[in-house]
Amino acid sequence: MSRKTILVCGTALWVLAQGAAWGEEAVKVPQVDVIGITPVPGLGIDRDRMPANVQSLGGEVLDRGKGATVSDLLERRLGSVSLSDTGGNAFQPSLSFRGFNASHLMGEPQGLAVYQNGMRVNESFGDLVNWEMVPSFAVNRADILPGANPVFGLNALGGAMVMDMKTGFSYAGTEVMAAGGSFGRRKAMAQHGARVGNVGFYGGVGHSGEDGWRQRSPSLVTQAFGDLEYRGERGSGGLSVGFGDSKLTGNGPSPVELLHNSRSAVFTSPDQSLNRQISVSGRGNLEISDSLSLQGSAYFRHVSHRTLNGDSGSFGPCQNVAPATQLCSDPGEGDEAALTDINGNAILASAGGTGMLNRTETATTSLGASLQASLDRPVWGLGNTLVLGLSEDEGRTRYHSESEVGSLLADRSVGGGGAILGTSTYWTELRSLNRTVGVYFSDSLSLTDRLTLTLSGRYNAAQVVLADRFGTELNGDHMFERVNPAAGLAYQVMPELTAFAGYGEANRAPTAAELSCANPAKPCRFPNAFLSDPPLKQVVSRSVEMGLRGRAQAADGSWSHSWSLAGFGTQNQDDIIFVASGQGTGTGYFRNAGRTLRVGFEAADQGRIGPVGWFVNYALVRATFDNDVTLHSPENPGANADGDILVRSGSPMAGIPMHSLKLGGSYEISDEWQVEMDAAFYSSRRLRGDDSGLGRRLGGYEVVNAETEYKLAGFASAFLRVDNLLDRRYESFGLYGEAASVFPTFSDNQFRTPGAPRSFWAGLRAKF
């Protein structure tokens, strides 16, 4: 961080302190439903003063999830959230909110900033989010703050998700749970929270596994989280430790003709992902005076990620450039080339060639710290809350990829031949450094008792340094800077009704992974290798939003009701997308695609009357290209002779359903017995590689789930859940690829990931 930045922020903090000393007694804003307004935990604002349609998962919903992932619960409850089964593994979905993604998969257009107790969860190497590393049992509350949100830093193009984790002050008691179900599924979880005087402790551990309903698709996930917190009269502080370990098999999309024969069939295997994470984060809050307070947070996070992917190969005995005993790429064609191993030796044809085993190893160490000051005192006699802060995040990544020549076996698994391919096309050694500095402010001014004006802004400076350890093609040093503003109004028409409107801007700097794979002449066998380093422009988003919300409840708590209506629009400038190259399924490069536009409407209603509860959430999200653009999609049957498709302005983007509806209800039959049902309906969506709409879409579908829980004793209960009760056949993700390399008789280039069939869960849990 520069001396100039430190001087400016230090001066501003001094001014805040002087304002607290000069001001009169602070005017505290009533906080009923408090929403975190910055990445640093410990500071929030009343939901009624927020100029946006904030959507939340509270403790009651998370508690009833019984170990379900946070991403699953978000999809079940929130209308603008949809999941795509991009990798074919339920633990690692791609989450879309208002058409912006938070995904584990490189190649997805990322656009949500995700925080856990002030720790940035987006991986610095590719802005990825590994959802299976989030311990859902330890989440106390999850809020999605929509729209381009500058305060939350880079990648908050479509909004920010803030997860508040449990502490000994928010959770008390002991709970254990064990469950099993279809396809070898099993879960176990234990958690305990307690408070002794000014000290609170929380600890939890969970384990999940399954054999998988598709062929050769077992998975294991282990999570642990602990928190120690102290709360005094003038301050508080806490320390959290997290651990996650997963071994996942995601066999991805399969050709539609193969799925027609068997829904559980996989194209090629293995397709394994091994993740491990350890994190330590600290937070503190100090009340200097009745009106001035300081909040701070810091974190350390180390994530290792290994993959093993079996793919079909197009190698064979040389015909022109070398003896037939040697192995060549594109044998018999004009660009035939003899293959060599990592030591420069010729590879013999006996090593195989019909298959490849691709391996990657990614290790990222992230550090970050934030400091902010909050001043709550009148300005010109008007209530005002001012926040000023600065942050720095740094991530260092070691990336390695290699490819082994193999043979495609009868069951379409790949056996290795022992020869590791050489040259930078198949072997990558990359180091990257991501450093981001931000200075931000947020000010909420009560113009009247009912009208609140919120102004905010942030300066972002992001540096991305790439060091090629195998050659020189990947070397690069990139710098991205921007100032993003935001403004909004919230008007409390009456105690039960609030109107709001807002505007905001945010930016996302290209990640190291994107900058290393941006040359169409040298596409990547994504995500297994990076081959070039031309520049990409940063993405800038501008969003508007307006709406109404209301809530009411009986004084005796016998009923409660809340609802919201919101319209929104966000335009991305220089959006970054992944384009297929046609040189194998999953091969391509990143590019700026000009403007994209996401506009829509949300309507939500939820409540409870006595033993009956309900929720209804509808969303219309129209995500389109906002200019004409030509994209390469050679496997698309509508592509021209060069393999290009013309995408017109207004054409819907792939993978995002326009309409989605979530609804559910619960009924307490007695004090011991409760039943619930929920359903999700989605309209059709386009396949990746078909943004021009030339091919068949993924059809719309609905999924209905049912659950019941019965108390066996004062502290124990049994539950049963049925997912996909109607056993619908559906697909949430698809793309264009080449199936003929494995199945010469297949003529359809569509690949799809099948949705899981009907499955059952049954378990016991006890609370003490």
- Per-residue pLDDT tens over the stretch 651-666: 999 999 999 999 999 9
User: What's the mean pLDDT when you consider all of the chain?
Assistant: 89
Distance, CA of 609 to CA of 469 (rounded, Å): 64
Distance, CA of 291 to CA of 616 (rounded, Å): 40
Bigger pLDDT: 123 or 26? Answer: 123
Token pair of 511, please?
A: 């990640």
SS3 state of residue 109 = coil
Q: Assign residue 233 a region: left if phi > 0, alpha if psi is -120 to 50, beta otherwise?
A: alpha
Q: pLDDT at residue 39 above 60?
A: yes
Q: pLDDT at residue 3 above 80?
A: no
What's the whole-number mean pLDDT along residues 272-296? 95
Distance, CA of 99 to CA of 676 (rounded, Å): 29
DSSP for 730-760, written as a single string = -EEEEEE---TTT-TT----EEEEEPP--EE
SS3 state of residue 262 = coil
pLDDT score for 754: 94
Q: pLDDT at residue 473 above 80?
A: no
The confidence band for 622, taking pLDDT boundaries of 50, 70 and 90, is very high
Q: pLDDT at residue 342 above 70?
A: yes
Contact 515, 476 (CB under 8 A): yes
Is 437 a domain residue? Answer: yes
Q: What is the dihedral of CA 8, 12, 13, 14, to 10 degrees?
A: 100
Residues 6+ apart with CB under 8 A from 556: none
pLDDT score for 278: 97
Q: pLDDT at residue 725 above 80?
A: yes
pLDDT tens for residues 375-425? 999 999 899 999 999 999 999 999 998 999 999 998 999 999 999 998 877
Residues 6+ apart with CB under 8 A from 459: 438, 439, 440, 481, 482, 483, 484
Q: pLDDT at residue 257 above 50?
A: yes
Q: pLDDT at residue 523 above 70?
A: no
Q: How many CB atoms lie within 10 A of CB 155?
A: 25
Is 687 a domain residue? Answer: yes
Q: What's the domain count of the chain?
A: 1
Q: Kind of pairing, strands 612-625 and 659-668?
A: antiparallel
Token pair of 756, please?
A: 């899981």
Distance, CA of 485 to CA of 57 (rounded, Å): 28
Share of the chain above pLDDT 70, in %: 93
Distance, CA of 192 to CA of 201 (rounded, Å): 8
Q: pLDDT at residue 29 above 60?
A: no
Q: pLDDT at residue 476 above 70?
A: yes
* CB burial string 668-694: b at 16+ within 10 A, e below: eeeeeebebbbbbbbbebbbbbbbbbe
Distance, CA of 42 to CA of 622 (rounded, Å): 36
Is 347 a domain residue? Answer: no
Is 149 a domain residue? Answer: yes
CA 726 to chain centre: 29
pLDDT score for 25: 37
Ordered strands of the 315-317 beta sheet: 315-317, 327-329, 337-338
Distance, CA of 751 to CA of 368 (rounded, Å): 40
Chain position carrying tokens 């790439």:
466
Bigger pLDDT: 610 or 30? Answer: 610
Taking Cα atoms as reference points, which of 41, 46, 54, 33 lies closest to residue 159? 54
Contact 161, 143 (CB under 8 A): yes
Q: How many CB atoms lie within 10 A of CB 711?
A: 14
Length of the chain: 768
pLDDT score for 526: 45
CA 197 to chain centre: 38
Is 323 a domain residue? Answer: no
Contact 126, 101 (CB under 8 A): no
pLDDT score for 766: 95
Is 326 a domain residue? Answer: no
Residues 6+ apart with CB under 8 A from 7: none
What's the whole-number mean pLDDT along residues 105-118? 87
Distance, CA of 667 to CA of 612 (rounded, Å): 5
Ordered strands of the 159-165 beta sheet: 55-57, 139-146, 159-165, 113-116, 119-120
Distance, CA of 141 to CA of 60 (rounded, Å): 9
pLDDT score for 615: 96
Contact 55, 80 (CB under 8 A): yes
The confidence band for 32, taking pLDDT boundaries of 50, 70 and 90, is low
What's the whole-number mean pLDDT along residues 710-726? 93
The confidence band for 582, taking pLDDT boundaries of 50, 70 and 90, is low
Q: pLDDT at residue 314 above 90?
A: no
53 phi and psi angles, rounded to 5 deg: -90, 75
pLDDT tens for residues 746-761? 989 999 999 999 999 9
Distance, CA of 302 to CA of 299 (rounded, Å): 10
Token pair of 483, please?
A: 């100032």
Low-confidence winner among 21-30, 151-160, 433-442, 711-720 (lowest mean pLDDT): 21-30
pLDDT tens for residues 218-253? 999 999 999 999 999 999 999 999 999 999 998 889
Taking Cα atoms as reference points, which of 541, 549, 442 lies closest to residue 490? 549
Is 341 a domain residue? Answer: no
Contact 518, 555 (CB under 8 A): no
Distance, CA of 519 to CA of 497 (rounded, Å): 52
Host H or E run for residue 164: strand 159-165
Distance, CA of 719 to CA of 675 (rounded, Å): 10
Residues in a beta bridge with 624: 597, 652
pLDDT score for 23: 38
Distance, CA of 158 to CA of 137 (rounded, Å): 26
Distance, CA of 751 to CA of 98 (rounded, Å): 25
**Beta-strand runs (E) in 574-670:** 576-580, 587-592, 596-609, 612-625, 629-632, 644-647, 659-668
The confidence band for 559, taking pLDDT boundaries of 50, 70 and 90, is very high
pLDDT score for 767: 92
Distance, CA of 737 to CA of 56 (rounded, Å): 38
What's the whole-number mean pLDDT along residues 343-360? 93
Is 611 a domain residue? Answer: yes
Q: pLDDT at residue 532 above 80?
A: no
Ordered strands of the 524-525 beta sheet: 524-525, 587-592, 576-580
Share of the chain above pLDDT 90, in %: 71
**Beta-strand runs (E) in 211-269:** 219-231, 235-249, 254-255
pLDDT score for 557: 85
- Which CATH number fits the domain that encloses residue 753? 2.40.170.20
Token pair of 242, please?
A: 């997290």
Contact 513, 527 (CB under 8 A): yes
Domain coverage including residue 465: 3-314+353-767
The confidence band for 744, taking pLDDT boundaries of 50, 70 and 90, is confident
Q: pLDDT at residue 8 above 80?
A: no
Token pair of 655, please?
A: 């993978």
CA 485 to chain centre: 24
Q: Assign residue 727 a region: left if phi > 0, alpha if psi is -120 to 50, beta otherwise?
A: left
CA 611 to chain centre: 35
What's the whole-number mean pLDDT along residues 440-452? 95
Cis upstream peptide for 270 (omega within 30°):
yes
